[in-house]
Amino acid sequence: MSIKQIINIWENDPTIFDNITAWKTRLAREAVYAEFPESVNLNLVHILHSLKIEKLFFHQKIAWEEIEAGKNIAILTGTSSGKSLCYNLPVLNKLLQDPESRALYLFPTKALSQDQYNKLDVLVTGINELYTPKPHFKIGIYDGDTPSNQRSQIRASCQIILSNPDMLHLGILPYHTSWVNFFSHLNYIILDELHIYRGIFGSHIANLIRRLKRLTKFYGSTPQYILTSATISNSKSFAQKLIGEEIEIITQDGAPQPERNFLLYNPPIINSELGLRRSASIESIRIADDLITSGNQLIIFGQTRPGIEKILTFLREKYPENIIDPISQIRGYRSGYLPKQRREIEEDLRNGIIRAVVATNALELGIDIGGINAVILTGYPGSIASTLQQAGRAGRSNEPSLAILIANPDPLDQYIMSHPNFVFDNNPEAALINPNNIYILLSHLRCSIFELPLKVNETFGDLSQEEVKALCEHLMDEKNVYLSKTAYYWMTTQYPAQNISLRSSSTDTVVLTKVADPDRVSPLTIGQIDYQSSMWMVHPEAIYLHESQPFYVEQLDLEKKIAYLRPVDTDYYTEPQRSTKIELLEKIEDFDENGSNYGYGFVKITSQVIGYKKIKWSTHEQLGIGKVDLPSNELNTTGFWLILKGKITEHLRSENLWNNEANDYGSEWKEITRFIRQRDTFRCQVCGVLETDRPHDVHHKVPFRLFSSMNEANEFGNLIALCSTCHRRVENNVRIRSGLAGLSYILSHIAPLHLMCDFHDIGVFFDPLLALFQENLPTIVIYDMIPDGVGFSEHLFAERNQIITHALEIVEACKCSDGCPSCVGPGGENGLGGKKETLAILRALTSCRP
Amino acid sequence: MPTLTDKLKALGVKLGASEINAGFPKKQETRKESFLNSTWLTYNGSVNYQDTHYSFEQFNTIFQQENNFSLGFFSELLREPRLIQYGPEQITFIDTETTGLSGGSGTLAFIIGVGRIEDQKFHLVQFFLDEPSNELNLLIALEEFLASSKVLVSFNGKSFDIPILKNRYILNGQPNPFLKLQHIDLLPVARRLWRERLQSRTLGNLEFEILQISRKQDDIPGWMIPQMYFDFLHEGDFAPMERVLYHNAMDVLSLSNLLTEIILMTKDPISSGSINPIDLFSLARIYEELGRLEVAINYYSYGLDFERNREFGLPESLVKESILRLAEIYKKMGDIDRSLSLWQRAVELKEITGFIEMAKIYEHKYKNPQEAKTLTISAIDLLETSDLSVLEQLRWHSELKHRLERLERKINAGL
């Protein structure tokens, strides 16, 4: 049964159709061809013809022309659009003109390198056979897996070298004197999947490029850059910042497209009071079943390994073995698998043996798997770019294909459901990097000085001479660097690249160790993270996700800097609870509106992880809490703030924007109030004023609605007598606090949409009385979790209007009564999650705009 | 907007150009040119170095007797025929002190010690990098020194010192001066010669065991050296560098003494009368591997001579190995009688290989499978009481069993 037919059936089935919130059909598109330009070597054209490439796609020709014109380019066309030829064509052509020419291809994963190597090999073999006298071109992969006895030969004889950033950083640049010939003739540098190089990782890569450029300059070459990337909102500026040069972007996609259907599916609500929905996995299995039984090949993307295992197990058990072989035809796929297994699965996908693959995002990146009829995304993958890449796996040449995104209860998922334009039309995500993050910059400056002494008047990246001088003087103070008349030399026995991880911002790291299995002799290191980050990411009892596998943290040894992790399959994840103090060090920029002040600047965060919340995966309900004992920690970084000023809070108070619900405090309430007023000697416990003609109010210190039983709420310790003025003020404070809490929740959950970061990469703090400047005011601060920041705060400031608007839209549209995990946070804990209060603040903020 | 300086301050560092510059004048005072006694003038500029001449009384060397000098052994060992033509004055001994062990482009050689025989003296030149910015002059001077040499002798130089120096030439935009030189790295040579006798073959240990030299108190352990250089750069006090120079000088001298010792040892080990038995065995094995079977036969036989051996003292394990190797050599050469008598000795020493080889000879040469079978059975019996490892026993056992079965089949087939 074809996709079209399945879709027809769904259209007429309300149990599915009613949950589809958006549907876009992109019609099939013919290829837009272009003739091979005349400047392409005829032999090369001939070989391409023999590989059934008769003409170029339009964008491949544009790429060629821009490269001929000496430009750097970034190709942003979709998946399977023939991006490789955009770079292979100019590189190979140059080789044919000049056999001394060299090119460096960098890929983010070894799997991608291998895949591209295979493609390139076909072309190079063709050239070697065809061309007389035989030029004998060679290509080679040079990475951590390359046997050491082959390395010098690859360096010496390969014209094209495929590698990855880690190898470049650790194994190539510090030993560049073994690459004299390669660097002297380097004409092209190719960077694939550029959008991956964002955040901390991207900031490191930008500096890696700076080091590489110093060396190519030393050896006298000026290579051109050819980049490929998924589409994001700031593609051009991001790419330019990453490589430090001007770029032309190419977006027109000339490749043929089959008809693509993209559905957004929101599981139905099963408890409207609490706002709970059916789990995405269940819906996913239901949809998968329809597709499999109708004979369609499909991929199901999932977010966590246990989630995937469950879907996999379920599907395998569903079908009789003579119809579908559960082992070979329904497979799992994740990065933890051996390369050999992964190659097998990719092969079996291509030749149609596999009916369904349940995969993590490891299958998202470019590896060629042919075209698949259908793709199911179980839960929003965390970024629009990933969503598009995963969905982009669907599409076989002549047949209509289907991608369906099934939402989790997460606010962001829910927001995407109601704003399909983000997925269908404009990706609002920006890839952010800060190459001048002081810690990252210093790390790479050390490496660069090791690689080549830095002259006193040299610049580095976009830094000025004075700035470079200041940095070098700091390094001299560390006694790592020595100024010898006109240049700075690395002067210590250590070799700097060794201690730098490209994925964390400091050299101080905690090693993540998988607790020893009984049948394993020694514990296995699975990764490492920043010392600072370790306290909130792998605190004792935390659930930590590594390569989609959840781990439980058994122990965090801060002295030895080791965290002990055990793989688990729990139904919850954890969110750390911090006690935090914030100090504003310096404002960079701010903006005063009528009732509020927005800004960003350098902040000092002193925080301590004191506990955590357990949150259920499938519904995002809070299951419980835990306590943790860890030292406090200082973080100097950048932060974005929103301060509610007098005007707004007055407005909120006076307009009585929140209804005073007539709470039914129980039949004994009158008695209780009499008793309390008497106990408190008929004086207001805040201002001291005596009752006159009107009895004082009796106030619940901890709000009534937060208790599970009336008796607990009305315990005398929780009640005080207040005059009506003070009562109103206190109530307002409680409400403001509750509104701030809800606002923090929603902002922190949707910020990643704009920042293209993980939830963990930013921290959120709020306080009804915080003095960032002189006055104590209700304030929310969202800060970069990375020391010295990577640019998140700046971007939040720039996009503040859109973000507040989005937040308002989500909360207004949410059907829950008093707050839920999909909008302002689950109601009823510690004065948090007040939906009405949050709405009031949001409305006030948006109405105050000029 | 906090400047970089502000941020660096926040990192806990006090800055100020004045503080840094304050170091310079102070250093220039203490760092006088006269610490090193000589200056080498190149076309690009000058470099300071320590110049020393050692007379032959100061250290023992074959170079005193020029007509005895020959690089023949090395020429054979390294399969480099050109070496034979060179005399002592064409050799440069080289050893460096570096700022680290990584071999990456940021490792510098701050002392390059080169020594050469000149006019009956050992001339040691130690170039010193008193300012890294002066490196180019040092490299040019080194190249000039090397101009008249044909052979380089080092210890681990092929893997370490020379690659680092090559990097320095590249970084300074200069061609590689080592291309036209032959290179004898004494580390792998030492390994082949003294693997059996010595656990450790560091230069220091060889100095002690083979050359029987011990250094003055002035010497310092190698691992301390880089930091002493860094301290010198930052503080300007040259005195500790004297000790590093001494260390380097001793290393270079030891290189030349080691070369000499090897030449002496290998020239005519038997008639010298002073060769260590284990060393003679090692030499025999080296010649065997080089295909110089007559020499190997001579050296192995010497060690196996019964009467001599009591005093000569070749350890039993090497006696056994000598027997087996020598027998194998005779076998290759077709001298069955000699090999047989050696296998016989092996059998007496309870070496399984002896039994097997004798069984082979009896079976194929003397056409006596019955005797072969007897030998095989004896070997199997012996195996049970031997103290070989489980793996070895299994290996032998399966081979012997196989042989026995085959022999029995042969016998039963009526031969």
Element (H, E) at A438: helix A438-451
Residues of chain B with C-beta less than 8 angstroms from the C-beta of A434: none
Give the DSSP per-residue string, A132-192: SS-----EEE-STTS-HHHHHHHHHH-SEEEE-HHHIIIIIGGGGGGGHHHHHTEEEEEE-
3-state DSSP of A778-806 = EEEEEEECCCCCCCHHHHHHHCHHHHHHH
| Helix residue spans in B134-236 (DSSP H) | 135-146, 161-171, 186-194, 203-209, 225-235
Residue B403's SS3 state is helix
Please check whether residue A401 is in contact with residue A395, taking contact to mean a CB–CB distance below 8 angstroms.
yes
Confidence of residue B24 (pLDDT cuts 50, 70, 90): very low
| CB-nearest partner of B13 from A174, A477, A492 | A477
- The predicted pLDDT at position B25 comes to 33
CB under 8 Å to B212, separation ≥6 — which residues? none
Report chain B residues touching chain A, CB-CB < 8 A.
Answer: 1-8, 10-11, 13, 15, 17, 20, 99-108, 131-134, 166-167, 170-171, 226-227, 230, 233-234
Please check whether residue A94 is in contact with residue A129, taking contact to mean a CB–CB distance below 8 angstroms.
no
Across A523-532, A662-671, B23-32, B234-243, least confident range? B23-32
Please check whether residue A530 is in contact with residue A505, taking contact to mean a CB–CB distance below 8 angstroms.
yes
- The predicted pLDDT at position A169 comes to 96
Closest CA to B359 of B398, B404, B397, B410: B404
d(CA B323, CA B310): 16
Cα dihedral sign for A722, A725, A728, A731? negative
- The predicted pLDDT at position B67 comes to 62
Residues of chain A with C-beta less than 8 angstroms from the C-beta of B104: 174-175, 450-451, 495
CB contact under 8 A, B20 and A476: yes
Residues of chain A with C-beta less than 8 angstroms from the C-beta of B171: 177, 452-453
Across A181-185, A303-307, B261-265, B371-375, least confident range? A303-307
- B9 to chain A: closest CA residue: A474
CB under 8 Å to A451, separation ≥6 — which residues? A173, A174, A176, A211, A214, A215, B104, B105, B106
The phi and psi torsions of A2 (rounded to 5 degrees) equal -80, 170
| CB-nearest partner of B105 from A176, A484, A602 | A176
CB contact under 8 A, A174 and B5: no
- The predicted pLDDT at position A623 comes to 85
Q: What is the pLDDT of residues B154-171, one digit of tens each?
A: 999 999 999 999 999 999
- A467 to chain B: closest CA residue: B4
pLDDT, average across residues A752-781: 83
Q: Can you name the residues that pair with A374 across neighbouring β-strands?
A: A298, A402
CATH topology of domain B4-267: Nucleotidyltransferase; domain 5 (3.30.420)
Closest CA to A460 of A443, A476, A477: A443
Average pLDDT along chain B: 86
CB contact under 8 A, B131 and A484: yes
Identity of the amino acid at A51: L
For residue A138, the tally of other CB atoms under 10 A from its CB is: 14
Percent of chain A with pLDDT over 90: 36
Across A216-230, A337-351, A646-660, least confident range? A646-660
- B233 to chain A: closest CA residue: A482
- B224 to chain A: closest CA residue: A493
| CB-nearest partner of B4 from A471, A485, A487 | A471
Burial of A655 (0-12, 13-18, 19+ CB in 10 A): exposed
- The predicted pLDDT at position A691 comes to 86
Higher per-residue confidence, A343 vs A226:
A226
Q: To probe the interface with B, which of A484, A500, A587, A788 has the most B CB atoms within 10 Å? A: A484
| CB-nearest partner of A452 from B2, B102, B105 | B105
**Range B272-412 has CATH code 1.10.730.10:** no
Tokens of B101: 């062990």
Please check whether residue A392 is in contact with residue A333, taking contact to mean a CB–CB distance below 8 angstroms.
no
| CB-nearest partner of B230 from A451, A477, A492 | A492
| CB-nearest partner of A474 from B13, B167, B234 | B13
- The predicted pLDDT at position A132 comes to 63
Identity of the amino acid at A17: F
The phi and psi torsions of A653 (rounded to 5 degrees) equal -70, -45
- The predicted pLDDT at position B162 comes to 96
Across A174-178, A315-319, A759-763, B349-353, least confident range? A759-763
Percent of chain B with pLDDT over 90: 47
CB contact under 8 A, B106 and A174: yes
Q: What is the four-CA torsion angle of B258, B259, B261, B262, rounded to 10 degrees?
A: 120
pLDDT, average across residues A144-161: 93
Q: To probe the interface with A, which of B9, B18, B102 has the most A CB atoms within 10 Å? A: B102
pLDDT, average across residues B306-326: 81
Closest CA to A6 of A209, A376, A266, A294: A294
d(CA A529, CA B240): 41
Q: What is the pLDDT of residues A396-449, one digit of tens each?
A: 777 889 999 999 887 788 888 888 888 888 777 888 888 998 889 999 999 999
Confidence of residue B219 (pLDDT cuts 50, 70, 90): confident
Residues of chain A with C-beta less than 8 angstroms from the C-beta of B17: 473
Confidence of residue B181 (pLDDT cuts 50, 70, 90): very high
CA distance B236 to chain A (A): 13
- The predicted pLDDT at position A758 comes to 74
pLDDT, average across residues A462-475: 92
Identity of the amino acid at A33: Y
Q: What is the pLDDT of residues B39-56, one digit of tens each?
A: 999 999 999 999 999 887
Confidence of residue B264 (pLDDT cuts 50, 70, 90): confident
d(CA B304, CA B306): 6
Higher per-residue confidence, B244 vs B212:
B244
d(CA B166, CA B177): 8
The length of chain A is: 850
Confidence of residue A829 (pLDDT cuts 50, 70, 90): very low
- The predicted pLDDT at position B14 comes to 37
| CB-nearest partner of A474 from B8, B107, B171 | B8
Q: List the domain boundaries for chain B.
A: 4-267, 272-412
In this model, does residue A317 exceed pLDDT 50? yes
Give the DSSP per-residue string, A530-595: EHHHHHHHS-TT-EEEETTEEEEEEEEETTTTEEEEEE---SEEEEEEEEEEEEEEEEEEEEE-SS
- The predicted pLDDT at position A716 comes to 86
Residue listed under structure tokens 């990764």: A527
Confidence of residue A554 (pLDDT cuts 50, 70, 90): very high
pLDDT, average across residues A279-286: 90
CB contact under 8 A, B102 and A788: no
Higher per-residue confidence, A83 vs B23:
A83
d(CA A545, CA A728): 45
- B129 to chain A: closest CA residue: A484
3-state DSSP of A456-473 = CCCCCCCCCHHHHHHHHH
pLDDT, average across residues A368-373: 78
Q: What is the pLDDT of residues B373-397, one digit of tens each?
A: 999 998 988 888 887 888 888 888 8
Q: What is the pLDDT of residues B79-99, one digit of tens each?
A: 999 999 998 899 999 999 999
Higher per-residue confidence, B117 vs A323:
B117
Please check whether residue A100 is in contact with residue A221, taking contact to mean a CB–CB distance below 8 angstroms.
no
- The predicted pLDDT at position B30 comes to 45
pLDDT, average across residues A191-197: 92
Distance of CA A550 to the CA centre of its chain: 17
Residues of chain B with C-beta less than 8 angstroms from the C-beta of A172: none
Higher per-residue confidence, B64 vs A777:
A777
Q: What is the pLDDT of residues B394-412, one digit of tens each?
A: 888 888 999 999 989 988 8
Q: To probe the interface with B, which of A179, A441, A473 has the most B CB atoms within 10 Å? A: A473
